[in-house]
Structure 1
Amino acid sequence: MILLFEAIIGYLLITATVITLKRSSFSTQRRLVKLLASYIIISLIISFYLTITYSYIQEIREFVSLLEILASVVLHIIMVIYAWFLLTKVLS
Structure 2
Amino acid sequence: MMAVALMWEARAAAGRGGELLDWVRAQRLSPAPSRRETFTAEPDRVLVITWYGEPEPVGGPPELPDPPAGLLHRPVHRWRFTPVG
Same structural fold, with TM-score higher than 0.5 when normalized by the shorter chain: no
- Give TM-score scaled by structure 1 length: 0.32
User: Structure 1 or 2: larger strand share?
Assistant: 2
Larger Rg: 1
